[in-house]
Amino acid sequence: MSREYRGDINGYFWSCIQSSTAPERFGCSEVESVINYEISKDEINFCKEEIDLITEKLGGKKDKIDKFFKDHSGWNHKDLETIGISEEDLEEYADLELGMKIYNHLLENDYCNFEADI
């Protein structure tokens, strides 16, 4: 079962690869004992800097992963070996997807609030 996040942005954390605390990487802060994240537009530069760091770290691997998931809805370790990426690369990619959702929401709104399943 996938862990969901919902609110101003919606989606699912990548099963077995992405932590429920991934939003903290982009400047979000936990609000309550349930993981409820919020970030204001004041933090948009921090969020963008982290997105840029991930993109730089992935380099050409991002294109490989994009291409792979264009044709596949899931993955296994053999798939990762075949396309030449690691689980760490895939975790970075999953976080990049989350960071882009946060960033894009902040481009048009003052805040981004969402809660995440633990």
* Domain regions of the chain by residue span: 4-116
DSSP type of residue 10:
-
Interval 90-112: pLDDT, tens: 999 999 999 999 999 999 999 99
pLDDT at 1 over 60: no
Total count of residues recorded for the chain: 118
pLDDT at 29 over 90: no
Q: Which two tokens stand for residue 93?
A: 């990619």
Q: Are 85 and 91 in contact (CB under 8 A)?
A: no
pLDDT at 118: 65
Alpha carbon distance 75, 30 (integer Å) = 30
Interval 52-65: pLDDT, tens: 999 999 999 999 99
pTM of the shown model: 0.73
Segment 84-95 mean pLDDT? 93
User: Regarding beta strands 29-30 and 11-12, do their DSSP bridges make them parallel or antiparallel, or are they unpaired?
Assistant: unpaired
pLDDT at 10: 87
Segment 25-33 mean pLDDT? 76
For the chain, strand residue ranges (E) read 4-7, 11-12, 29-30, 35-40, 111-116
pLDDT at 33 over 60: no
Interval 7-21: pLDDT, tens: 889 888 887 777 878
Q: Are 2 and 18 in contact (CB under 8 A)?
A: no
pLDDT at 58: 96
Helices (H) and strands (E) in the chain — how many of each? 4, 5
The dihedral through the CA atoms of 12, 87, 23, 116 has a sign that is: positive
